Amino acid sequence: MNIIFKEDSYQIIGICMEIHNYFGHGFSEIVYKDALELEFRKAGIFYEREKEYEVVYKGIVLPHKFYADFVVKEKIVLEVKGKNHIAEADLAQALNYLKVSENKLAMIVNFGESRLNYKRIVL
């Protein structure tokens, strides 16, 4: 089986595991995002935080925009959660981000559980 962006995904999850091992669960999402930003910088990984995407409908840009938590290496949308589980709405949100960004892979990482949980969404 061919896993899209396998090495990059493993690198991101490794960093997330390191952060989760340090903090555990229970912090707000912003703490995990700040730690991710620090670790990405330390590892020399290119990322954009709170990346803005326009939503276009029939050639018209709608007033509402999407903001992905991170876009890593210009190709992976990374959504950070701090909840008791990853919900269907989170999966739908990530899928929408893929549609508007035209990227192929989104990852939802949930720091809110006793063990780090993540989902990959491939478009």
Asked whether residue 50 is assigned to any structural domain, the reply reads yes
Specify the CATH number for the domain of residue 80. 3.90.320.10
Under the banding of pLDDT at 50, 70 and 90, the label for residue 105 is very high
Tokens of 117: 């949980």
Structural domain of residue 82, as residue ranges?
6-122
- pLDDT at res. 38: 98
Residue 116 in any domain: the answer is yes
Q: Please report which helix (H) or strand (E) contains residue 47, including its range.
A: strand 47-57
User: Residue 28 falls within a domain, yes or no?
Assistant: yes
Q: Write the pLDDT tens digit of every residue in 59-99.
A: 999 999 989 999 999 999 999 999 999 999 999 999 999 99
Full-model pTM:
0.93
Task: Kindly tell me the sign of the dihedral angle through the C-alpha atoms of 60, 62, 66, 67.
Answer: positive
Could you tell me if 61 and 72 are in contact, meaning their C-beta atoms sit under 8 angstroms apart?
Answer: no
| Residue at 1 is within a domain | no
> Can you read off the two tokens belonging to residue 82?
């701090």
Count structural domains, the chain. Answer: 1
In a domain, 96, yes or no: yes
Model pLDDT, residue 3:
85
Tell me, yes or no, whether 25 lies in a domain: yes
Instruction: Find all residues with CB under 8 Å of 75, minimum gap 6, and list them.
Output: 5, 8, 103, 104, 105
Q: Is 92 helix (H, G, I), strand (E, B) or coil?
A: helix
109 within some domain: yes
Report if residue 94 sits inside a domain.
yes
Residue range 16-68, pLDDT digits in tens: 999 999 999 999 999 999 999 999 999 999 999 999 999 999 999 999 998 99
